[in-house]
């Protein structure tokens, strides 16, 4: 069935790179997403990648997609304290006649000095 898995916690030092990993199950997913949730707020789209791409770079963010292994990663370069948040990986699953986002459990990123 549909499932998206992520590790629950990641702790990094300020200035280092963070890598958040995700595995998904729906090979027909056309888009894969990374959402960010800051404390006390709703989720906000951070970036996405189309399934025919291997990599997407957007300033400090790099998304890598390995379709064969159904593995998605988000790399944050020069991690800052403001990057502390929960990061959700999501796949699109076409079910019941519409596209539904399937979210992972979220990875809590803690950035320490």
Partner 1 sequence: DAGVIQSPRHEVTEMGQEVTLRCKPISGHNSLFWYRQTMMRGLELLIYFNNNVPIDDSGMPEDRFSAKMPNASFSTLKIQPSEPRDSAVYFCASSLNRGQDEQYFGPGTRLTVT
How far is 113 from 104, CA to CA, in rounded Å? 28
Select the span of 52-60, 65-73, 75-83, 91-99 touching partner 1 (CB under 8 A): 91-99
How far is 113 from 103, CA to CA, in rounded Å? 30
Select the span of 14-22, 42-50, 57-65, 72-80 touching partner 1 (CB under 8 A): 42-50
Does 100 bind partner 1 (CB under 8 A)? Our answer is yes
Residue 25: CB minimum distance to partner 1, A: 16
Beta carbons within 8 Å of 76's beta carbon, 6+ residues apart: 17, 18, 19, 20, 60, 61, 83, 109
* Residues in contact with partner 1 by the rule CB under 8 A: 30-31, 40-45, 48, 88, 92, 95-101, 103-106
């Amino acid at each position: 069935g549909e499932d998206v898995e992520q590790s629950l916690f990641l702790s990094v030092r300020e200035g280092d790179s963070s890598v958040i990993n995700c595995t998904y199950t729906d090979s027909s997913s056309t888009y894969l997403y990374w959402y960010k949730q800051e404390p006390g707020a709703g989720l906000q789209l951070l970036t996405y990648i189309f399934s025919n791409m291997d990599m997407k770079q957007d300033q400090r963010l790099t998304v890598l997609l390995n379709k064969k292994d159904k593995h998605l990663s988000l790399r944050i370069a020069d991690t800052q304290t403001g990057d502390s948040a929960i990061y959700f990986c999501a796949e699109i699953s076409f079910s019941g006649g519409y596209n539904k986002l399937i979210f992972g459990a979220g990875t809590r990123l803690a950035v320490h000095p």
